[in-house]
Amino acid sequence: MTMKTYKMTVNRGTFNVRDSGNNDGYPVVMIHGWPESSYSWELVSPFISDKLRIIAPDLRGLGDSERTLNQDLYQKRELARDMIEVINALGIQDFYLVGHDWGGNIVQEIAFAVPDRVKKLVIMNFPVLSNAAGNAEAQRVIRDKGSFVLMYQYFQQQKGLAEAMIKGNEEVWIRWLFRKPAGEAGVPEESIKEFIRCYAIEQTPFTGACYYRNMRNDMKRWQELAGRKLPMPSFYLYGNKDVVIIPAYLNHIEDCFENIQVVQLDLGHFLQEENPDLVAEHLNNFLLS
């Protein structure tokens, strides 16, 4: 399945969209994470059933979407509102949702906002927002180990530091983020080059950092959602070699959904790029069942 790209301007801004274009397929909206773009779904797309139409927007401040300089608009609830507006502009009423990394946060916000329209939900390697108990347990484990794995988050939360140090060093930054342990497949070179290109777009060190500078507001939002259940059939696909989204985040996950399946794969955080055909197989099986 080959995806085309186009730009859409809606009330909330201008967004780049990847689209498999098979209009007879049921729409599945795929939301990427940081520091990636919708290109992160390119390797999966050839293995996705043609009964599904992939729609994969670039989030605000990443990929080829607009670089908004208002930090508040990078709260994840706001980014979800961006995506709902893009979906509406495409004339889509009901759809499936797939989200990875920060995209996994955003698809949950969409699902809470328009639960009657989201017919199935897939979360990949991101905490479940309403899982207060499991998230607290996972965060204690990380703190007890010194929180070193969160260094890239703390770095970006410091005002002005990412802008000063990443600009002109985008390749060093992206390659450090995608470094892989010896013997693991990791993210392919062509994907890394594309993410370097996008991060070199003017203002991206700031807009990328805004994803982390809003974490305090995002966490307050998670507290509001604690105990709420998502009603649609849901699937948590987890690369269990992830060193940031650790297995403890899965504790109590069954309390957060009316219907949840969990599958663990021996992959890292960027699972859809590390083993795209296997990930696509699981997505097809769930979404088409």
Judged against a pLDDT cut of 70, whether residue 150 lies above it is answered with yes
Residue scoring higher pLDDT (2 or 127): 127
26, 97 contact by CB (below 8 A) = no
Token pair 């109590």: residue:
252
Q: Indicate the residue type of 212.
A: Y
71, 216 contact by CB (below 8 A) = no
* Predicted confidence (pLDDT) per residue in 154-163, tens digit: 999 999 999 9
Q: What is the reported pLDDT for 180?
A: 77
Q: What is the mean pLDDT of residues 147-172?
A: 97
Judged against a pLDDT cut of 80, whether residue 215 lies above it is answered with yes
Judged against a pLDDT cut of 70, whether residue 2 lies above it is answered with yes
* Predicted confidence (pLDDT) per residue in 170-194, tens digit: 999 999 999 976 556 789 999 999 9
Q: Would strands 95-100 and 52-57 be described as parallel, antiparallel, or unpaired?
A: unpaired
Rounded mean pLDDT of the chain?
Answer: 96
Q: How confident is the model at residue 36 (pLDDT cuts 50, 70, 90)?
A: very high
Distance of CA 23 to the CA centre of its chain: 24
Q: How far apart are CA 214 and CA 118, in angstroms?
A: 26
DSSP at 253: G
Q: What is the mean pLDDT of residues 138-158?
A: 96
- Calculate what percentage of the chain has a pLDDT beyond 70: 98
Domains of the chain listed by start with CATH number: 4-287 (3.40.50.1820)
Token pair 């296997």: residue:
278
List the Cα angle 100/104/107 in 5-degree steps. 120
> Long-range contact list for 143-150, CB < 8 A, 24+ apart?
149/243, 149/244, 150/244
Q: Indicate the residue type of 115.
A: P
Q: What are phi and psi of 55, to 5 degrees?
A: -125, 115
pTM of this prediction? 0.97
Q: How far apart are CA 88 and CA 84, in angstroms?
A: 6
* Predicted confidence (pLDDT) per residue in 234-286, tens digit: 999 999 999 999 999 999 999 999 999 999 999 999 999 999 999 999 999 99
Buried b (16+ CB within 10 A) or exposed e, 8-22: eeeebbebbbbbbee
Q: How confident is the model at residue 124 (pLDDT cuts 50, 70, 90)?
A: very high
- Calculate what percentage of the chain has a pLDDT beyond 90: 97
* Predicted confidence (pLDDT) per residue in 46-97, tens digit: 999 999 999 999 999 999 999 999 999 999 999 999 999 999 999 999 999 9
CA separation (Å) from 76 to 110, 195, 211? 10, 21, 8
Map residue 52 onto helix, strand or coil: strand
Q: What is the mean pLDDT of residues 141-152?
A: 95
Looking from the CA of 229 toward its CB, the CA atoms found within 13 Å total 12
Q: What is the reported pLDDT for 1?
A: 62
DSSP 152-181: HHHHHHSTTHHHHHHTT-HHHHHHHHT---
CB-based burial label for 114 (10 Å; 0-12, 13-18, 19+): middle
232, 111 contact by CB (below 8 A) = yes
